[in-house]
Amino acid sequence: MTRYWLMKTEPSVVGIDDVLAMPNQTVDWWGVRNYQARNFMRDQMSVGDKVFFYHSNCAEPGIAGLAEVVKKAYPDRTQFDPASKYFDPKSSPENPRWVNVDVRVVKKTRLLGLAELRAQPELVHMRILQRGNRLSITPVDPAEWKFIVERLLK
């Protein structure tokens, strides 16, 4: 079953243009250290799932493009790297704690900003728009996906 997601990234770290410059326009989604977000990747994401590529913590937060899951969850390489800020001493290759999927950018879109998303009555229930939302990976309702892709990004 194809699911729909919104995945946040900080463009100062890995933005959509960075991913477009990578081989196959694909990036491993390293660095998730929240159990709920990890569980979404580990338990629910499958190849072919659709993704809103979202820029957060930046001058223009919003949806920057469309992407898809191209590889199922596997151990996040950064958890084993002592030089990484994402190093986790409690994790080991035998018993890894953190995983990531691979994500391929399908299309860069116009920057669909937060204010414009908030202005849509059809999107009032979107997880990303709820007060205090901090989760970096959230499920997107199929109707919300359709509305955004067909009405706002056409």
Partner DNA sequence: GCCAACGTTGGC
The binding site for DNA (CB under 7 A) comprises 8, 10, 33-36, 56-58, 61, 114-115, 131-136
Question: Pairing mode, if any, of strands 99-113 and 26-28?
Answer: antiparallel
Are the beta carbons of 100 and 74 closer than 8 angstroms?
Answer: yes
- For residue 124, how many other CB atoms are within 10 A of its CB? 10
Smallest distance from the beta carbon of 24 to DNA, in angstroms? 26
Smallest distance from the beta carbon of 134 to DNA, in angstroms? 4
Smallest distance from the beta carbon of 71 to DNA, in angstroms? 23
Are the beta carbons of 11 and 58 closer than 8 angstroms?
Answer: yes
The residue to which tokens 């250290």 are assigned? 33
- Which of residues 46 and 130 has its CB atom nearest to DNA in the complex? 130
- Which of residues 17 and 60 has its CB atom nearest to DNA in the complex? 60
Smallest distance from the beta carbon of 57 to DNA, in angstroms? 4
| Calpha distance 7→132 (Å, rounded) | 16
- Which of residues 44 and 56 has its CB atom nearest to DNA in the complex? 56
- Which of residues 23 and 36 has its CB atom nearest to DNA in the complex? 36
Provide the token pair at 92: 């080991």
- For residue 142, how many other CB atoms are within 10 A of its CB? 12
